[in-house]
C-alpha cells in the first residue's frame, strides 16, 4: 500500500460505455493511511458523471474467494474498497450494441469504479476481511427491476482468479440465467407532455414509435394535479419534454386567462422542475420571444436580460427562471410557431383563397419557427448531449415582418401579394374593445449558439413553400 502513497487522482475509461475506473490519492505514514474516497467536485471535473448518490452501503466479506453477482441494478453505483482487495468483473446488460461486453480488474483501497445503471457487477475477494462500500443514486426497493447473469456464463467467459468451484457463492447467484436468456435493462424513458399540441404532434412525428418515448396529453397527465409526483414512477424516466403551455396571449390579460396562464406556465412548470431535480432528470422546456420587450435593435442573445411586456411573457419568463434551477435542463426560446393546427399561415392561406384582403402588421419583425424544426432541435440537443442551458431556436433566414410573411403566403398560394395591406400594431388593434397583450416589435433571436452545436435550422421561406404545398395536398 505504501508504494501507492501520493498518486494523483485520475480517471480511466473502459470498453463498457460509462464504466469508469478511478485511481484515488492515498496519504499515509507508519500509523496508517487516509484517502478522499468520494470527492464530487474533483471527480466531476475529471469527467465522472454527477450522479447524485443518496445511499451508502457496505459489504463485508470474511473469507478469501467470497464471490457475488452478476447483478445489474436500475441505478448508478460508485464502488470502492475500504480494506482488503477484490477482483471485479462487469458485464454490460443494457440493451444495445455493447450488450455482453466484459471488463475485469482488481480493486484495492487506491481504486474505485463508477458502474452505470444496467451494467452487471460482480466481485471476488482476494483477501480475508475485505470490505467494499458503494454509493447509489436511488434508494433500495424490493420492487426494483434487476437483470442477472450467471457467474459461469460461457459466452462472457470471465477468468476468475479463484475457480468458481472452489469459492463460496450463494445458491441464488449460481442459478442466474446465461447471457442468451438475460432480460436487458432498458434505457430510461423520455416523456413528452402536451403531445396533442402543435409542437407535441411534431415531436410525435420526430420520435415516432420509439419504444423509449411516451406521450402524455392533459387527459393522461395534468400538470395541475396535486399528486403529480405520484402520477408516474419517475425512476423509469431520464427526460421530460414539456410541450404544454398556455399560449392565448390576449386572454392572459383578463382575470380568468391570467390565472390559467400562471397555473400552466409557472405553477405546473415548477412541479415538473421539482420532479426533475429530485430524480435527476433532464427537463426540456419551451420558452418564447415574449420574454423580451422587443426594444433591442439587434437580434436577441440567450443571455440578454428579460423584460416581458404582458402577462403571457411574464409567465414564460417566470417559468424559465424556475427551470433554470434544474441541474440538467434545456430551455428553448422560440417565436412565431407554425405547425399542425390553427396558425397565422393557415389563416392567411384561407383568406387568400376566399378573396379577403387582410390588413397585417408590418412593424413586428422576426422569423417563423416550424414545429418540425423545433422538434428536430429538441432531439439534436438531447442526442448530442449538448451543454445544458438556454438556446434560441427558430427557423433560419432573413428576418421579416408579419406583413412580409402574409404577402409571401399569398404569392406562394397563387394569389396577388399586393392584396395584403401593411399597418402598424397600434392601428391594427385600435378598434379592439377587449384587452390586447403588448407585442415585442423585435422578435429576432440569434441562432449562433444552437448552430454551434451542429444543428442546422431550415430556411423559413423554403419551409413555408413546402408547408403550403402540404396544406394543399
Catalytic annotation, residues: 71, 134
Whole-angstrom distance, CA of residue 396 vs CA of residue 106: 54
Q: Is 398 helix (H, G, I), strand (E, B) or coil?
A: coil
How many whole angstroms separate alpha carbon 288 and alpha carbon 443?
Answer: 9
**Cα(229)–Cα(232) distance, integer angstroms:** 7
User: How many CA atoms, within 13 angstroms, populate the side-chain half-sphere of residue 379?
Assistant: 19
Residue 23: alpha-carbon gap to chain centroid: 30
Kindly state the helix (H) or strand (E) to which residue 427 belongs, with its residue range: helix 425-429
Residue (of 157, 148, 143, 94) closest to 122 by Cα position: 148
3-state secondary structure of 59: strand
Provide the residue count of the chain: 473
DSSP calls for 16-27: STT-EEEEPPEE
Residue bearing cell 411534431: 202
Transcribe 362-378 into DSSP letters: -S-EE--EEHHHHHHHH
Place of cell 383563397: 353
The answer to whether the beta carbons of residues 182 and 147 sit under 8 Å apart is: yes
- Sheet order of strands, 130-136 included: 10-13, 20-23, 111-115, 77-83, 130-136, 55-61
CB atoms within 10 A of CB 111: 21
Residue-by-residue DSSP string for 142-196: TT---EE--TT-TTT----SS-GGGS---HHHHTPPPGGG--PBPPPEEEEESTT
Report the alpha-carbon distance of residue 405 to residue 347 in Å, rounded: 12
H-helix segments, 235-310: 255-262, 268-279
Amino acid at each position: 500500500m505504501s508504494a501507492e502513497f501520493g498518486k494523483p487522482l485520475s480517471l480511466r475509461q473502459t470498453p463498457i460505455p460509462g464504466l469508469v475506473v478511478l485511481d484515488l490519492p492515498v496519504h499515509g505514514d507508519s500509523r496508517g493511511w487516509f484517502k478522499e474516497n468520494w470527492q464530487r467536485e474533483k471527480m466531476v471535473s475529471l469527467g465522472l458523471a454527477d450522479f447524485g448518490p443518496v445511499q451508502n452501503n457496505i459489504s463485508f466479506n470474511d473469507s478469501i474467494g467470497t464471490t457475488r453477482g452478476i447483478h445489474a441494478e436500475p441505478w448508478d453505483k460508485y464502488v470502492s474498497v475500504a480494506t482488503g482487495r477484490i477482483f471485479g468483473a462487469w458485464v454490460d446488460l443494457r440493451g444495445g450494441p455493447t450488450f455482453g461486453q466484459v471488463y475485469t480488474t482488481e480493486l484495492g483501497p487506491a481504486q474505485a469504479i463508477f458502474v452505470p445503471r444496467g451494467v452487471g457487477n460482480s466481485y471476488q475477494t482476494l483477501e480475508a476481511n475485505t470490505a467494499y462500500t458503494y454509493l447509489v443514486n436511488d434508494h433500495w426497493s424490493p420492487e426494483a427491476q434487476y437483470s442477472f447473469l450467471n457467474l459461469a456464463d460461457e459466452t462472457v467467459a470471465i477468468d476468475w482468479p479463484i475457480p468458481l468451484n472452489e469459492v463460496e457463492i450463494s445458491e441464488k447467484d449460481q442459478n442466474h440465467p446465461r447471457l442468451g436468456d438475460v432480460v436487458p435493462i432498458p434505457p430510461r424513458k423520455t416523456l413528452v407532455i402536451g403531445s396533442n399540441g402543435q409542437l407535441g404532434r411534431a415531436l410525435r412525428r420526430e420520435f415516432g414509435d420509439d419504444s423509449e418515448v411516451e406521450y402524455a396529453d392533459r387527459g393522461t397527465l395534468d400538470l395541475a394535479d396535486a399528486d403529480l409526483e405520484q402520477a408516474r414512477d419517475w425512476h423509469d424516466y431520464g427526460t421530460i419534454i414539456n410541450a404544454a403551455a398556455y399560449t392565448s396571449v390576449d386572454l392572459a390579460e383578463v382575470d380568468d386567462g391570467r390565472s390559467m396562464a400562471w397555473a400552466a406556465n409557472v405553477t405546473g412548470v415548477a412541479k415538473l422542475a421539482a420532479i426533475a431535480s429530485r430524480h435527476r432528470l433532464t427537463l426540456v422546456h419551451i420558452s418564447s420571444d415574449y420574454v423580451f420587450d422587443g426594444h433591442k435593435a439587434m437580434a436577441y442573445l440567450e443571455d440578454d436580460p428579460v423584460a416581458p411586456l404582458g402577462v403571457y411573457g411574464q409567465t414564460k419568463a417566470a417559468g424559465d427562471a424556475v427551470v433554470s434551477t434544474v441541474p440538467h435542463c434545456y430551455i428553448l426560446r422560440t417565436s412565431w410557431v407554425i405547425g399542425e393546427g390553427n396558425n397565422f399561415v393557415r389563416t392567411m392561406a384561407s383568406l387568400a383563397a376566399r378573396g379577403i384582403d387582410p390588413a397585417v402588421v408590418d412593424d413586428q419583425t422576426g422569423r417563423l419557427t416550424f414545429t418540425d424544426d423545433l422538434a428536430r432541435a429538441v432531439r439534436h440537443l438531447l442526442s448530442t448531449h449538448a451543454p445544458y442551458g438556454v438556446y434560441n431556436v427558430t427557423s433560419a433566414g432573413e428576418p421579416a415582418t408579419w406583413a412580409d410573411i402574409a404577402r409571401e403566403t399569398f404569392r406562394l398560394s397563387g394569389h396577388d401579394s399586393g392584396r395584403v395591406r401593411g399597418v402598424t400594431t397600434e392601428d391594427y388593434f385600435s378598434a379592439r374593445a377587449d384587452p390586447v397583450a403588448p407585442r415585442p416589435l423585435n422578435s429576432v433571436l440569434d441562432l449562433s449558439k444552437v448552430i454551434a452545436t451542429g444543428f442546422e435550422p431550415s430556411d423559413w421561406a423554403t419551409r413555408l413553400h413546402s408547408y403550403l404545398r402540404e396544406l394543399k395536398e
